[in-house]
């Protein structure tokens, strides 16, 4: 697998926007995820890399980020660092299985 560059800041913006849409504070997210508000801040600012296990935990709290981050990964102009081929396969599978469709989309099942 070719090496990808990680756009931590873009991921951080997605996480922050999801939190703000829910009207939550960083300490509330941290409490729900079992991490400190400093760790939440580090993810949101792009100073700490969001690993796959934490991505999944965030996805349980904010399901919309799964598609947003997967689309960021799959967009040809921007890539995320994937630690292993297995993680790349899992992320692509999540994107395919948990795509949030527009309710007005006639192809929606």
pTM: 0.66
Calculate what percentage of the chain has a pLDDT beyond 90: 35
Cα separation, 109 vs 107, in Å, equals 6
Structure-token pair, residue 10: 């873009």
CATH class of 8-97: mainly alpha
Mean pLDDT of the chain: 76
- Which pLDDT does position 31 carry in this prediction? 96
Contact between 12 and 46 under an 8 Å Cβ cutoff? The reply is yes
CA distances from 56 to 76, 84, 103 (A): 23, 16, 24
In the chain, where the domains are located? 8-97
pLDDT in tens, 32-80: 999 999 999 999 999 998 887 888 889 889 988 888 887 776 665 555 5
> Is the pLDDT score of 27 beyond 90?
yes
Angle, vertex CA 16, rays to CA 85 and CA 51, nearest 5: 20
């Amino acid at each position: 697998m070719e090496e990808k560059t990680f756009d931590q800041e873009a991921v951080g913006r997605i996480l922050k926007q999801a939190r703000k849409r829910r009207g939550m504070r960083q300490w509330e997210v941290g409490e729900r995820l079992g991490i400190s508000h400093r760790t939440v801040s580090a993810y949101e600012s792009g100073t700490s890399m969001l690993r796959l296990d934490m991505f999944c935990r965030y996805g349980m709290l904010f399901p919309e980020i799964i598609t947003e981050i997967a689309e960021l990964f799959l967009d040809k102009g921007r890539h995320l660092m994937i630690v292993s081929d297995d993680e790349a396969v899992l992320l692509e599978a999540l994107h395919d299985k948990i795509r949030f469709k527009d309710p007005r989309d006639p192809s929606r099942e």
